[in-house]
Structure 1
Amino acid sequence: MCRGDRTVTYAMTTSGGHPTAEERAAVTAAFNTWNQAVASCSDLVFTPGDDVPHPAPRPLDGKMLVTFRQVNCPDIVPDDDACWQNESCPDKYDCWPFAPRDVVEETSYFRMSTGEILGTELSLNNSNGMLTTLDGPPCDEGVIEPGCVIGDVQSLVTRSIGEGLGFALLTRTDSTMSRVLPWGDTQKRIIDPGTLQGICETYPRGLPTPGCVISTDGGVPDGGDGVPSGDGGVPEADGGVPDAGASPPDGDGGAPSKSGCTTTSSVPLLGALILLLGARRTGQRSRG
């Protein structure tokens, strides 16, 4: 899986006073972290774009679109509303449609025929009081109170950017791409050496991603592309902070995927590229 344009625009949707200045700063800091990390080896560049008013169209133009949801859909959407059937409730009501304790949902759209990434949606659940933007000690597990960290926005966005570049979540808890984010953890604000090496080898400066075919038709998706998987971020039984099961286990040995993109070489903490079928959706649940 790959991105054809190495200049990636990111933008935020606006609704109901969000993002706040603090939320905006945390999102910007996450993209700046990636810019600083890859500057030595890759020509990937993340640039801010104009805000997008709600409801925002699917970002099939290569954009990474960040949205903060303020209310759970079941709390405001009538049971008989047709939006439940076609998954349009978030657009219609600006609400969070997944499990109430999930804190982030990342969906990437791409061409099934080539693996070319068309765009990424990143939604954060602000309805449960678990998102924080401050620098401080972690809250006691299971405790939600001011002045301490629970679900760190910068960490969540930093990790999700990696997903939007085509990397899978790993079982390694010391990787930026860890599928588990402990209560109050801010360590995922940092790009670990293995993840950085994977990005450098996947998006080398001045060279194409090995094996990836980039379309020239202006980014119109193939038939069937961009259909969300609909798994909704189901938690693992251990109560951690998992993905939604769309990612294969890491440690695949660097085998080529059917999309034509190859995985990066095997090194410690390396995020593995994965084959996706139209769209990938992964969810994160705050522990506690």
Structure 2
Amino acid sequence: MSRHLLLLAVLLGAQVAGAQQDSRRTLVPGRPLCLVWPGRDYVYHLDVAGSTRAPDATEFSAIEAAFDAWRAVSATCSDFRFIRGDDWRRTVDIGYDEEHPFDNYNVVTFRERNCQDVAPADDVCWADETCGNVYQCWAHGGATIALTTSSFSFKDGRVVDSDIELNAAETAWGPTFFFTTVNGPPCGADGPAATCVAMDVQNTMTHEIGHVVGLDHVFSAGSTMEATASQGETSKRIIDAGSAAGFCAIYPRGLPPTQCRVPEDPGLKLVAEGKGSGCGATAGGPGVAALLLWATALLRRRGGQRAGGLPPGSLQAAREWRRG
């Protein structure tokens, strides 16, 4: 059985407002199936290192507030549970370890070093795409705010692992994204600081948890799952009606999770083509604008998360990004 790693990201963009009533599920690339947790518990572990820039460990409270928002939605329609396990005090590896399926854990971590700065250019980790785990660093695009990596069965879409990384990596000009936890005001011309809203932890995490449960990006202004976020934005802290309804439809209380299998009928046109959603970054964040597009690549990968004991198999990745 083959599994895919699906890397879902939220990029810096323009803030917009207005609740929407739609949602979109994450498709298994190239197949008429969606990603879905087969059970009802998502047990996650916060990296005890947290963020070195958040005062008084407020980043942990902000992360919990994001999970609380999804817990509140679940209480209205579902028996899906978000359970905080022990905080992680070991090396934080992202992805799924096929060789040790019962030793995987769902983790949430801030990456505060860029792999390009700490991994030698001739290290084999670049070819293996494992530098992030080897050097505990941010291995993805510089314009990406956060990344959710979900490992799942290509055969039926069952998710077995889902990890979240937040891009707090340093650059020559300071952190790529300065994560903050206060409610306001937005940071202004004086630049980001812990006393104003720069890249809001709760805002970012609420969106990423949506990816964890199987929701994809939508292009609706004001949606929690909108593909963009701007400095000073906190609106995604509140889960919009469309995203909430999407979650409730996937995990209805007292019933098995719903799969979005579409009959492979040659006469049926699939509206969702399985390529994932694109994300754009606009001026206002560090670096140049970026565009995220789907592409596929093969790799062998190891990682960390807790999930069931599926037999080992080759891992593949659906990865996307292109700088503009």
Question: What TM-score comes out, normalization by structure 1 length?
Answer: 0.72
Q: 2:84 aligns with which of 20, 41, 48?
A: 48
Matched, 1:92 2:140: no
Alignment of 1:123-202 (within 5 A): 123-127=165-169, 128=175, 129-140=177-188, 143-202=191-250
Query: What is the CA distance between 1:279 and its match in structure 2?
Result: 5.0
Which residue type is aligned with residue 92 of structure 1?
A: V
- Unaligned runs of 5+ residues in structure 2 are 1-34, 170-174, 262-275, 296-314
**Of Structure 1 and Structure 2, which has the larger fraction of its residues in strand?**
2
- The aligned amino acid for 1:140 is G
Structure with greater contact order relative to length (CA < 8 Å, sep ≥ 6): 2
Q: 2:149 aligns with which of 107, 112, 116?
A: 107
The Cα RMSD (Å) is 3.3
Residue 100 (structure 1) shift: 3.0
User: Secondary structure in 2 aligned to 1:199?
Assistant: helix
Q: 3-state SS of the aligned residue for 1:30?
A: helix
Q: For 1:216-235, list aligned pairs within 5 A.
A: none
> Cα deviations across residues 233-274 of structure 1 (Å, max 9, x unaligned)?
996364589883349xxxxxxxxxxxxxxxxxxxxxxxxxxx
Q: 1:42-89 CA deviation, whole Å, 9 max, x = no partner?
A: 011101011231133635668532111111111222212221111121
Partner of 2:210, secondary structure, is helix
Amino-acid identity (%) = 35
Indicate the residue corresponding to 2:27 in structure 1.
none
Q: Aligned pairs, how many?
A: 237
Match of 1:184, as an amino acid? G
Letter of the 2:224 counterpart: T
CA contact (8 A) 1:158 1:188 kept: yes
> Residue in 2 aligned with 1:116?
158
Q: Equivalent residues in 2 for 1:246-285 (5 A)? A: 246=294
CA contact (8 A) 1:243 1:282 kept: no
- Give the distance between the partners of 1:137 and 1:280, measured in 2 at CA: 38
1:142 and 1:54, CA in 2 relative to 1: closer, same or farther beyond 3 A? farther
Q: Which moved further from structure 2: 114-123 or 7-16?
A: 7-16
Name the residue aligned to 1:24: 60
> Structure 1 146/66 Cα, relative in aligned 2: closer, same or farther at 3 Å?
closer
Q: Find the residue that maps to 1:197 and give its secondary structure.
A: helix
For 1:264, the equivalent position in structure 2 comes to: none
Deviations 1:180-229 (A, max 9, x none): 1122100111111111111111110001123479xxxxxxxxxxxxxxxx
Equivalent-residue separation in structure 1 for 2:284 and 2:94 (angstroms): 32
Q: How much has 1:17 moved relative to structure 2?
A: 7.3
Amino acid at match of 2:36: C
Asked if residue 236 in structure 1 is aligned to residue 270 in structure 2, the reply is no
2:316 & 2:256 partners in 1: Cα distance? 22
Query: 1:22/1:84 Cα in 2 relative to 1: closer, same or farther (>3 Å)?
Result: same
Distance, in Å, in 2 between the alignment partners of 1:78 and 1:4 is 40
The range that moved more, 76-85 or 199-208, is 76-85
Which amino acid counterpart does residue 5 of structure 1 have in structure 2? G
Contact 1:116 1:212 in 2 (8 A): no
